[in-house]
Amino acid sequence: MTSLTEKLGTALDTGIRWIGAGLVAAFTAAVVYVVGSRYLAGHTPRWAEELPRLLLVWLTFLGAVSAFWRGTHFRAGLTDLLVSHPALRGAIRLLAAAATIIFLGVLGYNGAKLAQMTWSHTTTALSLPVGLFYMVLPVACALSLIAFLLGGWRK
Amino acid sequence: MSIALLLLLAAFVFLVLIDAPIAVALGLSSIFYIFIADTAPMIVVAQRAVAGIDSFTLLAIPLFLLAGLLMVHGGLAPRIIALCSALVGQRTGGMAIVMIIACMLFGSLSGSGVADVVAIGTMMLPAMKQRGYDPGFSAAALGCAGSLGTVIPPSIVLIVYGTATNSSVGQLFVSGIIPGLLLGLGLMVVAWIQSRRFGWSGGEPFDGAKLAAAAKDAVLALLAPVIIVGGIRSGIFTPTEAAGIGVAYALVIGLVVYRSLTIRMVVKLLRETTETTGAILLVIAAASVFGWILAAERVPQMAVAGITQATDSATIALLLMMLVLLILGTFMESIAIILILAPVFLPILGQYGIDPVYFGILLTVNLAIGANTPPLGIDLMAACRVAGIPLSRAFGHLVPFLGVMIAVLVAMILFPALVTGLPHLLF
């Protein structure tokens, strides 16, 4: 039987992957549109670089949430080779989990501070708040922490 | 070297050893450094992490990932593999040769050598086992060939290197073509010799009509790499735009012409791209913070001073850097190594007058060798896992494969024109 934490984690992962799919589709369409616009209409839209870059930043950190849930972030994979004792392996895994939690906490907290500081500044092409680029950090780090604690740390 | 810097490096190594994600190892050791050294506000971690990925060039990574997935599921990749099978599949060692070609063509699907080995190995290894190939041989061939995606365009590792060193991604792609072909051909020759020695035969007998049909069927699929590399080389597209056009092309062919794709499948692939992009680019984001600290601590300058004191010879300097890469390449993903070492190596290249594009190709070949060098060798380990055999069973078969890769690397060092010739001709 699937546990509640597993269900919640899967639901979060599914939601994130849907949003990510939308972001990938959006910047793919934007890049293709820019090429078409340059060769067919003879002009490049002013958002040609800025908008896809903003979408990429959001995609990266939201995609990382899914990778934290599924345990697919790149690792050296040395523990299984170097340590054979199960209890010691378990302790090492907890240590690595603690490192992940601290990293996400510090990154998310400072991302929130930076988003707040830069919200009144605007970007050059689209006059969007600069803080939009940093806003993804508190959002994605909080979601990553939830995904990780719901069971991602075991995978 | 300051105490804080030593602690940074120690924390990074410790976190890698306990199997924390590489991104966490880079990010948390940087946080630890800033906390100890107190040289900058902690907010710089967030600022550098976003700045590291806020790049139009890096957009090429998710776009090429998606293009690769669409080509595999949209029927382009299977048609090219079918053409290769019709061409050489019936010969001695044919299945192994087809697997190597598949790795050369689609080896950069995910940006991770391990993931590519698993993806292609899952398709090819069962069929090879059925034909009587020794699993140790198949795993050794798969591990080595699976690493070629780092060298052959459109290599995601080369995009990352180009971004990290401010080198032209277009030039890197073109420079990787001849070394990539040499490596692939070398592996194929080894596969053929070994197959002949052990009597591993090919598949079905040669059939001219089948070959003609496969060739006709694969024409549109074969146009995809031509559009991507040709578009970049002719200056029609930037690498990022070429990746976008590659996605559009694979989508149209897969949905409309081959009808192998459905909208539901496209959405599934978009979702897969999300996760893989997150895993790759989070390393780049965290490495941006780490690299910023290395620069602030003047590590690149220290490395230059250390190497220039040790030798005046550019070749020896090159070999020293290759040795470091080879050791790291045995247990770390190529992308992480590049992001950590590129800022350190770049000034050394300048000091000895070594072209960063040339070095980039040497570096990727070296990392491909490292990824298959025991006792670790992460691509080899992944191949053995897919084959369901212990690592030791592949060792005996590995020597000739690794030997030929090392021979190509040495040839590239002795004859730089193998790397620089084509870009000089085309750019």
Q: What is the ipTM of this complex?
A: 0.96
**Mutant choice from B275, B339, B376 vs A, greatest count of A C-beta within 10 A:** B275
Among B98-112, B164-178, B367-381, B387-401, name the one with the lowest average pLDDT: B98-112
**Mutant choice from B50, B237, B245 vs A, greatest count of A C-beta within 10 A:** B50
As a whole number of angstroms, the distance between CA B308 and CA B319 comes to 13
**Mutant choice from A13, A73, A139 vs B, greatest count of B C-beta within 10 A:** A73
Nearest CA to B281 among B53, B19, B17, B8? B53
Most confident of the ranges A38-47, A97-106, B134-143, B153-162: A97-106
pLDDT above 60: residue B411: yes
A20–B274 C-beta distance less than 8 A: yes
A53–B55 C-beta distance less than 8 A: yes
The predicted model gives B215-225 an average pLDDT of 87
Chain A nearest C-alpha distance from B411 (Å): 30
The predicted model gives B25-42 an average pLDDT of 94
- SS3 of chain B: helix, strand, coil, percent, to 5: 80, 0, 20
Q: What is the pLDDT of residue B376?
A: 65
B17–A65 C-beta distance less than 8 A: no
Give the DSSP H/E element, type plus range, for residue B112. Answer: none
- Considering only CB atoms, A107 lies closest to which of B27, B63, B276, namely B27
pLDDT above 80: residue A133: yes
Terminus-to-terminus CA distance in chain B, angstroms?
A: 42
- Considering only CB atoms, B271 lies closest to which of A21, A79, A134, namely A21
Tokens for B131?
Answer: 């034909």
> Which DSSP string do the residues of B324-352 spell out, in sequence order?
HHHHHHTTS-HHHHHHHHHHHHHHHHHHH
User: Which of the pair, B323 or B268, is modelled with greater confidence?
Assistant: B268
Q: What is the pLDDT of residue A23?
A: 97
Spatial contact of A70 and B18, defined as CB atoms under 8 Å apart: no
Q: How far is CA B332 from CA A115, B157, B344, B370, in A?
A: 33, 13, 17, 9
Q: What residues of A are in contact with residue B31 (Cβ under 8 Å)? A: 102-103, 106
Q: What is the pLDDT of residue B111?
A: 54
B281–A18 C-beta distance less than 8 A: no
Stretch 14-73 of chain A: residues touching chain B, C-beta under 8 Å: 16-25, 27-28, 31-32, 34-35, 49, 52-53, 56-57, 59-67, 70, 72-73
Spatial contact of B152 and B108, defined as CB atoms under 8 Å apart: yes
Chain A nearest C-alpha distance from B106 (Å): 20
- Residues A68-79 pLDDT 10s: 999 988 887 778
Q: What is the pLDDT of residue B57?
A: 86
Spatial contact of B17 and A78, defined as CB atoms under 8 Å apart: yes
How many CB atoms are located within 10 Å of the residue B184 CB?
23
Give the DSSP H/E element, type plus range, for residue B227. Answer: helix B208-233
As a whole number of angstroms, the distance between CA B162 and CA B167 comes to 5
Q: What is the pLDDT of residue B112?
A: 61
Q: What is the pLDDT of residue B412?
A: 93
Q: What residues of A are in contact with residue B21 (Cβ under 8 Å)? A: 73-75, 100
- Considering only CB atoms, A114 lies closest to which of B47, B278, B279, namely B47
The predicted model gives B191-195 an average pLDDT of 93
Q: What is the pLDDT of residue B183?
A: 96
Q: What residues of A are in contact with residue B247 (Cβ under 8 Å)? A: 28, 32
As a whole number of angstroms, the distance between CA A8 and CA A10 comes to 5
B240–A31 C-beta distance less than 8 A: yes
Chain B, nearest residue to A22 by Cα: B270
Tokens for B399?
Answer: 């020597």
- For CA atoms A17, A23, A24, A25, the dihedral sign is positive
pLDDT above 80: residue B30: yes
- Residues B225-276 pLDDT 10s: 788 878 887 888 888 898 899 999 999 999 999 999 999 999 999 999 999 8
The set of long-range contacts for A46-53, using a CB threshold of 8 Å and a minimum separation of 24, is: A46/A125, A46/A126, A47/A125, A47/A126, A49/A125, A49/B56, A50/A123, A50/A124, A50/A125, A50/A126, A50/A128, A51/A27, A51/A125, A51/A126, A52/A27, A52/B56, A52/B59, A53/B54, A53/B55, A53/B56, A53/B59
The structure's pTM equals 0.86
Q: What residues of B are in contact with residue A35 (Cβ under 8 Å)? A: 237, 241, 244-245
B243–A53 C-beta distance less than 8 A: no
A52–B59 C-beta distance less than 8 A: yes
A59–B62 C-beta distance less than 8 A: yes
Chain B nearest C-alpha distance from A73 (Å): 5
Question: What are the φ/ψ torsions at residue B223 (nearest 5 degrees)?
Answer: -70, -25
Tokens for B415?
Answer: 């004859």
Spatial contact of B68 and B224, defined as CB atoms under 8 Å apart: no
B271–A20 C-beta distance less than 8 A: yes
Residue whose structure tokens are 């009597």: B199
Among B28-42, B281-295, B328-342, B397-411, name the one with the lowest average pLDDT: B328-342
Q: Could you give the angle at the alpha carbon of B296 between the alpha carbons of B294 and B365, nearest 5°?
A: 30
Stretch 63-122 of chain A: residues touching chain B, C-beta under 8 Å: 63-67, 70, 72-79, 81-82, 92-93, 95-96, 99-100, 102-103, 106-107, 110-111, 113-114, 117
Q: What is the pLDDT of residue B43?
A: 97
A92–B270 C-beta distance less than 8 A: no
Cβ neighbors of B315 (< 8 A, separation 6 or more) are B413
Chain B, nearest residue to A60 by Cα: B278
Tokens for B368?
Answer: 């491909």
Which residues on adjacent β-strands are paired with residue A129?
Answer: A122
Does A139 lie at the interface with B, CB-CB under 8 angstroms? no
The predicted model gives A25-38 an average pLDDT of 95
